[in-house]
Amino acid sequence: MRSGKDAPVDQLGAEHCYDPSAPPKVRRYQVLLSLMLSSQTKDQVTAGAMQRLRARGLTVDSILQTDDSTLGMLIYPVGFWRNKVKYIKQTSAILQQRYDGDIPASVAELVALPGVGPKMAHLAMAVAWGTVSGIAVDTHVHRIANRLRWTKKTTKSPEETRTALEEWLPRELWREINGLLVGFGQQTCLPVRPRCQACLNRALCPAAQGL
């Protein structure tokens, strides 16, 4: 069902929003920024914001030199854009002061940055550093794992889901499960009115039973 790689995440996810010709440090910063913008925001909106930021040259220095109202105009209409302006400025200042303008290379240091949660940290480790540190669980992965009963009991939060999945899913599949399930959640296993009739998992899926 995901073989076509034609969901929004496949063209517009974090690994598609940075400038591949930028120096490695700048690339990593752009990956982190796209992840910070992406929370509570559709991929298409995040990609648009990243395009506008990149058009002005997207580096730690350029962001720190941009005033808050201009930054707000550039990232609008991402979800919670006012908070994100604040977080992006705070995080950029920390990166400049403590990491020589680079992003940290551990989950613990990444989640300590303002506006960076566990899902973003695991994706940043995978996309920016090429290291699989854990499963990145967002709202799609959380919802689908519970619908398929891939967790022993119903989980209440993405972090709980991550722990439950990591207990049994082979580590070599940890990196791909995020994009796989996010795209599946965008196209088929929708939050409201999932397209169960078109889903090849219908016979196996506990949530589809009785429909």
Q: Among the options 5, 119, 152, 156, which is catalytic? A: 119
DSSP 3-state helix, strand, coil percentages of the chain (rounded to 5)?
60, 0, 40
119 is catalytic: yes
Q: What's the token pair of residue 24?
A: 């490695």
What would the two tokens of residue 209 be?
């039973």
Minimal CA–CA distance to 182: which of 131, 145, 129, 149? 145
For residues 151-173, one letter each, b for 16 or more C-beta atoms within 10 angstroms of the residue's C-beta and e for the rest, the string is: beeebeebebbbebbeeeeeeee
Catalytically active residues are 119
